[in-house]
Amino acid sequence: MDVAPWPQGDEAVRRLRLNRRAFIAPPWKAIYVNDAERIQTWAQAIAAFESCGEAYAAAGYEVVELPLTDLDRRVAFIREAAV
């Protein structure tokens, strides 16, 4: 990524670090639907996910993808990995 689309956000990600890991939720085809709030296409969702992961990695975070599972298991995953 050559130019940060939101320089203030890029700066905040670098300076206001609360954890060494950044958890990101990958697009999940099995539950993906378009509605009034989610207007992205599937391809746009993938591109946004990849862009966010790249931005966090470039800022020095260890990027951790959440598993494609139910909420309780995701919470347990985060609690275990957020050491």
The answer to the question of residue 73 being in a domain is yes
Q: Is residue 7 part of a domain?
A: no
pLDDT digit string, tens, across residues 63-82: 999 999 999 999 999 999 98
Q: What is the pTM of this model?
A: 0.75
Assigned domain for 3 exists: no
**Residue 68 within a domain:** yes
* Residue 4 in domain: no
Domain count, the chain: 1
Is pLDDT above 60 for 62?
yes
SS (H, E, C) the chain: CCCCCCHHHHHHHHHCCCCCEEEECCCCHHHCCCCCCCCCCHHHHHHHHHHHHHHHHHCCCEEEECCCCCHHHHHHHHHHHCC
Report pLDDT for 5. Answer: 66
Identify the domain containing residue 37 by its residue range. 18-81
pLDDT of residue 1: 45
Q: pLDDT tens across 19-59, in order?
A: 889 999 999 999 999 899 889 999 999 999 999 899 889 88
Within a domain: residue 64? yes
Q: Which residue has the higher pLDDT, 12 or 54?
A: 54
**Is 61 within the bounds of a domain?**
yes
